[in-house]
Amino acid sequence: MYSAIVFLPLIGAIIAGAITALGAAARHPEGRRLGTGHGHHAHATVARSSHHDDGHHDHHGPGAAEYITTGALILSAILSWVAFFTVGLGEEPVHVQVMPWVVSGDLAFDWAFRIDTLTVVMLVVVTTVSSLVHVYSIGYMSHDAHRPRFFAYLSLFTFAMLMLVTADNLVQLFFGWEGVGLASYLLIGFWYTRPSANAAAIKAFVVNRVGDFGFSLGIFAVFLVYGSVNFEVIFANAADAEGMTLSFLGGEFDALTVICLLLFMGAMGKSAQFLLHTWLPDAMEGPTPVSALIHAATMVTAGVFMVTRLSPLFELAPTALAFVTFIGATTALFAATIGLVQNDIKRVIAYSTCSQLGYMFVAIGVGAYGAAIFHLFTHAFFKALLFLGSGSVIHAMSDEQDMRRMGGLRKHIPLTYWMMVIGTLALTGFPFTAGFISKDAIIESAFAAHGTFAVYAFALTLFAAALTSFYSWRLIFMTFHGKPRASADVMHHVHESPLVMTVPLMILAVGALFSGLAFQGLFIGEGYEDFWKQAIFLGSDNDILHEMHEVSALVVWSPTVAMIIGFGLAYLFYIRRPSIPVALAKQFDLVYLFLLNKWYFDELYDLIFVKPSFWLGRVFWKKGDGWLIDGFGPDGISARVLDVTRQFVRLQTGYLYHYAFAMLVGVTALITWYMFAGGAH
């Protein structure tokens, strides 16, 4: 069963990839028919086509690629839920060996699946959201001539994430880790005729390489200390490294602290945490279903999963956990402040993801791993709902993404409106929705914690809750309420999305409303130890999930108060008095520009890293390669040798009297030298 869950998406990706290759052959009508539904579309542009005058997409029926990949994912999702209710609710963790993999000296590991509660939770999240994204994409991408390639990439992305979450060792995890990085590059840059899409894909790839460099160093350090990359060996001997030091960067440091900080550096990149977050908003250049998949179920959740999986190491490194708490809390607030002023509907939700991931790392930092995974679980539903809902808005608005050109859509696309409202209620923490239960649990655990930065984390996450409510309702009000700000032609073509797009929204809405209530007892309830079994390791003094339930009612309801304040301000600013935001932006123009330009991180990195790199490159090119190597090589010594050779060649004329004259001069010179030299002696 577990092999089927993991490999069905890969099989679908391979088949869709083969169909793509067939369709790419211009003279292969069968390939075009299988892939795109209609052969005459095989030569259409890669870039997203505009709507026709009737306001509808240039739609053709789905081909084999869509059916095969989507069917494989749905089957994988069903099996994942079966695994969840067997492993998650009673069975002991199991190991499934796929094949022997690497044996090299002391380094030996198999390709195997580690199936425990943490694994099956992630399997459910990944396959459920991915299958719904696949279904939704059948409608959303119906205009695109390159659908087989898109579905191949989606399924490959899902397979890589499944490889990551089922990993039995660090190398296999790293394989999946790099696989989702590759797939994200392919999907973000899917419309590769757009320079902005290419730039965003490269940016995501490069920024993640920074984090992955630290992650790989962390894996090397783990092998150096424990002599193995297998989780069972590492976890069984985790405490052996306590007190051990590593020589690193010219100093002696605590081994576990160094290992955990390096591993967390990888999580910072993949999960877009503060300082390594800059790639995430640009990832919106990809098709909207890609955004939903990246932000809800796959790439960005990998960091949270990895740190939770390695909880036996992190529990023994309090300094590293303190740093995780600090970065998580900072990210939660930082991303929320930027979300306040963004105008692109997808970018607002992207910064929301960045902020919510910060919440998850706060939970990890204070030791509430169950709360972190619980929020990851519920967040997948409402964030996928919000992204796919925004895709439905973009679909209706002739590909418009700027909320300043929307408004008044509530009556035109009522189903999308209510689905977006449900997602917003869950995200902002409306009582008893999924987000209310999981996000508030993190804020309560931060208050109950005793670690370094716990108070800092509580204050920032509580403030971020108010900001989250503000920017989320700002999105709803600007998009769906008020007077239409789009052109009459665009508004004339506004239409509700087809069932293939709205049914996934409705399924996700059920999860956004009820997944918190349904699974609260398992993830963070009194019997959470039985649920998590050996999947999460807690130190002997870590009772945070018990202490979390004992905080005062004031703390429990403070996030709800923050949510109400955020909603009230958004209502005042964008419904009652729309002139207030404009006046505030003018009055506090520096603050507004600071937030609008995303704290100027892109400009700062351009100044610190990009420009010096270009300068260094030009120095090596002009001075090193041009002046030094070429100057003393092809243009220097080599050129002089050629010059001298050419002069000597001129002496070889072929005329007898020239050679006779040369001999005469030579003999004369020899006699003269002999006479004078002999006279000197």
406-439, pLDDT tens digit by residue?
888 898 999 999 999 999 999 999 999 999 999 9
What are the structure tokens assigned to 93, written together? 């963790």
Residue with tokens 């005793």: 450
Confidence of residue 567 (pLDDT cuts 50, 70, 90): very high
**CA angle at residue 22 from 18 to 27, to 5 degrees?**
175
- In a domain? residue 73: no
- In the predicted structure, residue 89 carries a pLDDT above the cut 80: no
Query: Of 312, 296, 325, 339, which Cα lies nearest the Cα of 566?
Result: 339
Mean confidence (pLDDT) of the chain: 87
Domain C-terminal end among 565, 596, 627? 596
Rounded distance between C-alpha atoms, residue 597 and residue 342, angstroms: 9
Contacts of 294 (CB under 8 A, 6+ apart): 184, 187, 283, 286, 300
Confidence of residue 147 (pLDDT cuts 50, 70, 90): confident
**CA angle at residue 501 from 48 to 79, to 5 degrees?**
115
- In a domain? residue 119: no
SS3 (DSSP) at 246: strand
Domain C-terminal end among 596, 620, 650? 596
- Is the same domain home to 556 and 650? no
- Is the same domain home to 511 and 643? no
Helices (H), 397-498: 414-428, 434-448, 454-480, 488-492
- Is the same domain home to 442 and 566? yes
- In a domain? residue 32: no
pTM of the model: 0.87
> Number of structural domains, the chain?
2
The torsion defined by the Cα of 507, 510, 515 and 518, in degrees rounded to 10, comes to -120
- Is the same domain home to 641 and 586? no
SS3 (DSSP) at 254: strand
End-to-end CA distance of the chain: 105
Half-sphere exposure of 588 (CA within 13 A, CB side): 9
Q: Let me know: does 51 contact 144? Beta carbons within 8 Å.
A: no
- Is the same domain home to 591 and 625? no
pLDDT above 70: percentage of residues in the chain: 93
- In a domain? residue 665: yes
The torsion defined by the Cα of 396, 400, 402 and 408, in degrees rounded to 10, comes to -30
- Is the same domain home to 560 and 454? yes
- In a domain? residue 150: no
SS3 (DSSP) at 230: strand
184-237, pLDDT tens digit by residue?
999 999 988 889 999 999 999 999 999 999 999 999 999 999 999 999 999 999
Helix or strand (DSSP H, E) at 611? helix 611-619
- In a domain? residue 658: yes
- Is the same domain home to 391 and 476? yes
Query: Helices H, strands E: what count in the chain?
Result: 31, 4
Helix or strand (DSSP H, E) at 114? strand 107-115
- Is the same domain home to 435 and 486? yes
Give the mean pLDDT of 450-464: 91
Helix or strand (DSSP H, E) at 22? helix 2-24
- Is the same domain home to 570 and 654? no
One-letter amino acid at 78 equals I
- In the predicted structure, residue 31 carries a pLDDT above the cut 70: no
94-144, pLDDT tens digit by residue?
888 889 888 888 888 899 999 999 999 999 999 999 999 999 999 998 888
Q: Let me know: does 478 contact 404? Beta carbons within 8 Å.
A: yes
Contacts of 349 (CB under 8 A, 6+ apart): 291, 295, 383, 386, 387, 390, 475
b/e sequence 56-66, b meaning 16+ C-beta within 10 Å = ebeebebbbbb
Q: What is the pLDDT of residue 27?
A: 42
- Is the same domain home to 426 and 474? yes
What are the structure tokens assigned to 352, written together? 């929301």
Q: How far is CA 300 from the centre of its chain?
A: 4
- Is the same domain home to 676 and 556? no
> HEC states along 491-532?
HHCCCCCCHHHHHHHHHHHHHHHHHHHHHHHHHHCCCHHHHH
- In the predicted structure, residue 269 carries a pLDDT above the cut 70: yes
- In a domain? residue 377: yes
- In a domain? residue 353: yes
What are the structure tokens assigned to 115, written together? 């199936």
Confidence of residue 476 (pLDDT cuts 50, 70, 90): very high
Give the mean pLDDT of 352-373: 94
Between helix 301-309 and helix 369-396 the angle, nearest 10°, is 170
Confidence of residue 626 (pLDDT cuts 50, 70, 90): confident
- Is the same domain home to 502 and 418? yes
Rounded distance between C-alpha atoms, residue 110 and residue 95, angstroms: 11
Rounded distance between C-alpha atoms, residue 265 and residue 261, angstroms: 6
Task: Print the domain residue range for 464.
Answer: 326-532+552-596
